[in-house]
Structure 1
Amino acid sequence: MLNSARCIAICALLCCVHASCPPRCECSEAAHTVKCVSKDLRTVPAGIPGYTRNLFITGNQISRIGPDSFKGLDNVTNLSLSNNRISEVESHTFAGLRSLRSLDLSNNQLVVIHPEAFTVLNQSLRELNLSRALYNDSSVMDLATSLRWSSLGSLQGLDLSHNSLIYLPSRIFSHLTSLRRLQLSNNSLVVIHNSTFSGLEHLEELDLTLNALKTVPEEGLRELDSLPGAAFLLGENPFTCTCGIEPFALWLNRSQGRIKNSEGLVCAFPASMRNTSMLAVSTLTLGCHQRDAGADLALQTSYVFLGVVLGFVGLIFLFVLYLNRKGIKKRIYDMRDACREVWEGYHYRFEIDSDPRLSQVSSSADV
């Protein structure tokens, strides 16, 4: 009887353990891992075991996640939600994951990101992957707000690669004071503005490869210099090596120690400069300023010459007037007398027309 009771208890315990794994998921208590991969799930499954530290819910059809999605999962350290077509992340979605250190939301279609979407108690989150995750420009603005409101002071790695970003809102990273790695590769960034990387004093690596940077203006160079400990990746950008790029080229030469593979940075345009090392551009294009100075001097000379010619023509005109002053004076008097005679004739006719008696006298005189 005792043995039977033990068998029943063991069977019941095994059944409970088995039942604790959600349907269509794979659970491993030994590895503290639960995987729900490509199971066509519409929501985060309920009943995920409390021992779970590594949770993979990927390749499904989950459109929205919120505070009720991850209740009771205090031990989850690594959470992967990639490739689920998630379009909305509500505020405090991950607040209950007290031990969360790594969050992967890559390959989703985020349209709406609520202000405190990434808030985690104890600020435990260290890595946030949003590669291929942002759907449009409005989601970028939502992300900027969320990064400011979500208490991510301990975040060390942020991946925003492959998002077709054209611009970055000012001070978007200003609250990520502990950030060490920022990946912005494979976007369409065309310029670095002032305050783009404000607040990232501890940044160690900034990846800007495969963007649309034709140059970095002096404002952007000052912004990069505000990251004293950061190494930069700038390869495979369409640098245009024309007049005006010299400050950037000089900065590259001065900062070679901070730029990974600086020798591999080459000009993309114009065709005559293609594949020319950016490190050599500063010496090859210094003639731009000389030509500009020559052009300015030529333009100033032209203006001076034109002024001299116009002044000379004016003097000749005044001299001609002086030589013909008597004739001009006679012509003016003649014109004055002619105008006076015409005016007196009009005045006389007006008086006759306005007085009937004068009109009759005029008629009798005509007879």
Structure 2
Amino acid sequence: MLELAQRMVFCALVCSVYARASCPPRCECSEAAHTVKCVSKDLRSVPAGIPGYTRNLFITGNHIGRIGPECFQGLDNVTNLSLSNNRISEVESHTFAGLRSLRYLDLSNNQLTSIHPEGFSVHNHSLRELNLSRALYNHSAVTDLAMSLRWSSLGSLQVLDLSGNGLIFLPLHIFAQLGRLRRLQLSNNSLVAIHNATFRGLERLEELDLTFNTLKSIPEEGLRELDDLPAASRLLLGDNPFTCTCAIEPLALWLNGSRGRVRDAEGLACAFPPDMRNVSLLAAADLTLGCHQRAAGADLALQTSYVFLGLVLGLVGLVFLFVLYLNRKGIKKRVNEARDACREVWEGYHYRYEMDSDPRLSQVSSCADA
């Protein structure tokens, strides 16, 4: 009996060691480093049998089309998960909910077209960094992402990378639920404007990268949006095609007062028009004098034209009244004649009405005519 018990214990230990040492096919596992790598192995899905000791999981450079909650069951210890460059197009509901310790998630260089509203929900709000650079395939993915950032309980997220996605605009309130976000990467997109409520809710944001976009200017509405980021001490605006006309005035003045926050303010330059190319945007504030002079001249000319028009209309009115005064007798005579003519016409209509309404009078009238 004792021998049987010893054999059972021995078998359990062997099985335990084997299970801890097992590694999915075409993957590399290191128990000492708590790391599993499945890199460029032409995988079509997340491999099964990933060891439970895994903390760093790299499944990159494969051909995985979709990911769901069944892909990561039993991986409570994973803190860093990289799924970059896998051609992933769909993220299902609660895909990462089983990763109770997940802090860093990399989905960069994929082709996301469908993201469930709760696709990024993680147990205990553990996720701190989310990398979605070059991951959104089309406009519908941007809409899905906005919904997911609102519904996926990412209140503890601190870093979000959306660079290189060709974004032309950002849906309003897209970051409203990311109250602890500290760094937001929006570089290498095609953003054309910053609107009201674009960054609403980012009260703790420290760094905002808007480099390499298509911003020609930032109107006062957008500048107020940037000013409403109280903790943002690192703003980056370089490599945008700023157009230095009078419309650049609010931005140029704002930059001169915000050099401490805009870290690359000294390097910002005009791209258009050609005669202003490479002129410092800080120096472009001098254009405001010319703009104000032209605006003042235009206002003065407009006011002068209004005064002149008023004088002309007043003079015409006086002439008209003078002509009426000189012809007052003739006008009175014509008015009386018109009144008498109207009275005669009215009496004629009245007589005919009485004739038509009384049959006897109509018969007498017909006999008289005969």
Q: Same fold, TM exceeding 0.5?
A: yes
Measured after TM superposition, the shift of residue 179 of structure 1 is 2.0
Measured after TM superposition, the shift of residue 81 of structure 1 is 0.7
1:154 aligns with 2:156: yes
Measured after TM superposition, the shift of residue 247 of structure 1 is 1.8
Q: 2:85 touches 2:110 (CA, 8 Å); kept in 1?
A: yes
1:202 aligns with 2:223: no
Partner in structure 1 of residue 251 of structure 2: 248
How many angstroms apart in 1 are the aligned matches of 2:53 and 2:354? 121
1:103-182 alignment, distance < 5 Å: 103-182=105-184
1:24 equivalent among 23, 26, 39: 26
Alignment root-mean-square deviation, CA: 2.9
Q: 1:233 touches 1:260 (CA, 8 Å); kept in 2?
A: yes
1:24-63 alignment, distance < 5 Å: 24-63=26-65
Q: 1:242 touches 1:285 (CA, 8 Å); kept in 2?
A: no
Measured after TM superposition, the shift of residue 214 of structure 1 is 1.8
2:311 equivalent among 305, 308, 313: 308
1:229–1:341 Cα change, 3 Å = closer
1:282-293 alignment, distance < 5 Å: 282-293=285-296
* Structure 2 stretches lacking a partner, 5+ long: 1-10
Partner in structure 2 of residue 70 of structure 1: 72
Post-superposition CA distance 1:126-163 (Å, at most 9, x none):
22100111223332232223223333233221100111
Post-superposition CA distance 1:303-329 (Å, at most 9, x none):
121122112111111111111122223
User: Secondary structure in 1 aligned to 2:260?
Assistant: helix
Q: 2:38 touches 2:58 (CA, 8 Å); kept in 1?
A: yes
1:179–1:335 Cα change, 3 Å = closer
Give the TM-score normalised by structure 1: 0.85
1:342–1:262 Cα change, 3 Å = closer
1:79 equivalent among 81, 84, 109: 81
Q: Give % identity.
A: 77
Measured after TM superposition, the shift of residue 183 of structure 1 is 0.2
Post-superposition CA distance 1:261-308 (Å, at most 9, x none):
212211122233222211011112322123212212221221121122
1:351–1:48 Cα change, 3 Å = closer
Measured after TM superposition, the shift of residue 165 of structure 1 is 1.6
Measured after TM superposition, the shift of residue 20 of structure 1 is 2.0
Partner in structure 1 of residue 4 of structure 2: none
How many angstroms apart in 1 are the aligned matches of 2:349 and 2:155? 96
Partner in structure 2 of residue 332 of structure 1: 335
Q: Match for 1:70: what amino acid?
A: F
1:331–1:228 Cα change, 3 Å = closer
How many angstroms apart in 1 are the aligned matches of 2:351 and 2:116? 93
Give the TM-score normalised by structure 2: 0.84
How many angstroms apart in 2 are the aligned matches of 1:75 and 1:286? 63
Q: 1:352 touches 1:359 (CA, 8 Å); kept in 2?
A: no
How many angstroms apart in 1 are the aligned matches of 2:276 and 2:81? 47
